Amino acid sequence: MIELAEHCTETCSLAPISVEGQERMTSVLGNRLSVGWLSTDRVQIRSSSWVGSVNLTPELRVRVVPKLAGNDLGVLTMLAITDGSPLQDLPRYFRGLSDNPAEDAIELLCRLVVTHTEDVVVRGLIRDYRHHSADLPFLRGRLDVYRQATVYHGQFTSLACTFDEFDRDTVENHLLLAGVRAARRGTTDAHIRRRAADLEAQLAVTAPTIPTVRKLLTTPVVYGRRNAHYRVAHTWCRSLLRLGRVDDTTPSDRPQIESFLINMNALFERFVEWLMARVFDGTGLDLRAQQRNPSLITVDGLSRRSIAPDLVVRDGNQQAAIDAKYKRYDEWEISQSDIYQLLLYAQCYTGWTVLPTSYLVYPLATTHPTTSTVELTVPAAPTNRKVRIKAIGIPLANIVAGLRVGNLDQLSATTNYMSSALPSPHRARVPVMGDP
């Protein structure tokens, strides 16, 4: 197995692969993991901001470990939070896990899926009413007149019936079944794979009409007293299902490329959205995510391009933009492309401060949040005009480590700091931190 951090490069030996196999591998991995073919059967593997594991061949497994989230458990904590898990329940979500650096996020996630699904099975699978249609030799429930007239016109050998079944073939159990199937496929631990296979066999009999994964992930589950014990297992099942990618188009006689990779850029954006919701809770401000605005940029008078900040804070007609970047801006300077993007946001979403300002949130490796400022000076008469970027670093690893054990101190300190650094109409036209 090859282990490397985010945005790193490693060179290793690999058994010869056909040109067709190399092209297929490149196509399946896309921008998640770059594999460059060198001479003498050597490959250069370059990671990006996707963490997790990839089985390139039966002999070669690549693991990309996170840096800014602290460890793999930090990544899983972010997955649980962004899935809507209650903060007070998070310690229970990680029951039975240790900080073992030898296990990557996917191995840990597969173990969580299996462990918590076993708990649900022991506590009992719920039943519910399920609408069903069938053609029977006798009438059950109600007659589907339209289907009877169109399919069995003039025939009485079969009756088109619609009725409700009260069984365990429900969406709650479908999600468990899909989760343990993904865990069986994704783990390299023989013990976890065997436990997942046993659960899969049991659930396949109980809930046989499982829909597609896409439908499972888009079907909302409302939790109440009857199914509250499913919530933890569902959180991990959904997380694993969103990550699993298998090249199903590959012929069965060829090895499949299987990857379980987490997009840390997207995950950090969702985490910042969750964090901003806490910061602005109770302020009366409207927080909207990824809302495209096609009216700000025109070409020959026509709207051809749109801009979409990660978050927009609104108070009536006034608004400010917030963007999340999963980058080491505590060690590097903000890239020119990000500066241009955020300066554009500052001019389009002017906010409430003295200077038009946009806000950048990025992860820190330190224990305390920090703020830095980038300004653009526009020469104009009678005085120069300025546009500002305020970059706010948050101690991501410390926040998620505390949440995992039920300690909210770092979260509270960060939200308090951001409340004073982020825009608010209650401080309108009052100089804020860093203003001249």
Whether the pLDDT of residue 99 is over 90: the answer is: no
Q: Tell me, what's the pLDDT at 427?
A: 52
Residue ending a domain, among 142, 167, 192, is 167
Q: What SS3 class is residue 133?
A: strand
Which among 240, 264, 406 has a CA at the least distance from the CA of 327?
A: 264
Residue ending a domain, among 167, 198, 216, is 167
Whether the pLDDT of residue 125 is over 60: the answer is: yes
Q: How confident is the model at residue 432 (pLDDT cuts 50, 70, 90)?
A: very low
E strand intervals along 168-299: 244-246, 258-263, 286-289, 293-299
Number of domains in the chain: 2
Q: Which amino acid is at 34?
A: S
* Per-residue tokens: 426: 């209650």
Q: How confident is the model at residue 6 (pLDDT cuts 50, 70, 90)?
A: confident
Q: Which amino acid is at 399?
A: I
Q: How far is CA 97 from CA 51, 94, 110, 262, in A?
A: 19, 6, 12, 20
Q: Tell me, what's the pLDDT at 166?
A: 84
Q: Decide if 16 is inside a domain.
A: no
53 or 404, higher pLDDT: 404
Choice among 60-64, 148-152, 431-435 with the minimum mean pLDDT: 431-435
Whether the pLDDT of residue 15 is over 50: the answer is: yes
Whether the pLDDT of residue 430 is over 80: the answer is: no
Whether the pLDDT of residue 436 is over 50: the answer is: no
Q: Decide if 404 is inside a domain.
A: yes
* Per-residue tokens: 422: 């982020």
95 or 157, higher pLDDT: 157
Residues 351/423, Cβ–Cβ less than 8 Å:
yes
Whether the pLDDT of residue 283 is over 70: the answer is: yes
- Over residues 162-216, the pLDDT tens digits come to 988 888 888 999 999 999 999 998 888 899 999 999 999 999 999 888 888 888 8
409 or 154, higher pLDDT: 409
- Over residues 228-274, the pLDDT tens digits come to 999 999 999 998 888 764 433 334 344 455 677 888 999 999 999 99
- Over residues 381-400, the pLDDT tens digits come to 677 788 899 999 999 999 99
Q: Decide if 252 is inside a domain.
A: no
Helices (H) and strands (E) in the chain, counts: 13, 19
Q: How many Å apart are CA 335 and CA 368, to the nearest integer?
A: 23
Contacts made by residues 156-165, CB under 8 angstroms, sequence distance 24+: 159/135, 160/133, 160/135, 161/133, 161/134, 161/135, 161/136, 162/131, 162/132, 162/133, 163/132, 163/134, 164/129, 164/130, 164/131, 164/132, 165/129, 165/130, 165/132
Integer Rg of the chain from CA: 26
Q: Tell me, what's the pLDDT at 117?
A: 94
Residues 387/375, Cβ–Cβ less than 8 Å:
yes
- Over residues 314-325, the pLDDT tens digits come to 888 888 999 999
Degrees to nearest 5, angle at CA 185 with 70 and 90 = 40
According to DSSP, the residues that pair with 35 across neighbouring strands are 45
Q: How far is CA 294 from CA 143, 299, 304, 340, 351, in A?
A: 51, 11, 7, 18, 19
Q: How confident is the model at residue 58 (pLDDT cuts 50, 70, 90)?
A: confident
Q: Decide if 375 is inside a domain.
A: yes
Q: Tell me, what's the pLDDT at 431?
A: 42
Q: Please name the residue that has the structure tokens 């479908």.
A: 174
Q: Decide if 272 is inside a domain.
A: no
Q: Tell me, what's the pLDDT at 13?
A: 81
Residue ending a domain, among 118, 152, 167, is 167
Q: Decide if 408 is inside a domain.
A: yes
Which among 77, 72, 104, 62 has a CA at the least distance from the CA of 189?
A: 104
- Over residues 314-357, the pLDDT tens digits come to 888 888 999 999 998 988 889 999 999 999 999 888 888 888 99
* Per-residue tokens: 279: 């910061």
Q: Which domain holds residue 313?
A: 280-427
Q: Decide if 363 is inside a domain.
A: yes
Q: How confident is the model at residue 433 (pLDDT cuts 50, 70, 90)?
A: very low
Class of residue 177 by CB neighbours under 10 A (exposed 0-12, middle 13-18, buried 19+): buried
Q: Decide if 258 is inside a domain.
A: no
Q: How many Å apart are CA 380 and CA 385, to the nearest integer?
A: 6
Q: Tell me, what's the pLDDT at 164?
A: 83
The total of other beta-carbon atoms located within 10 Å of residue 164's CB is 12
Q: How many Å apart are CA 369 and CA 280, to the nearest integer?
A: 18
Q: Tell me, what's the pLDDT at 392?
A: 95
E strand intervals along 38-151: 42-47, 50-57, 60-65, 128-136, 142-143
Q: Tell me, what's the pLDDT at 429?
A: 41
Average pLDDT value for the chain = 84
Q: Tell me, what's the pLDDT at 249?
A: 37
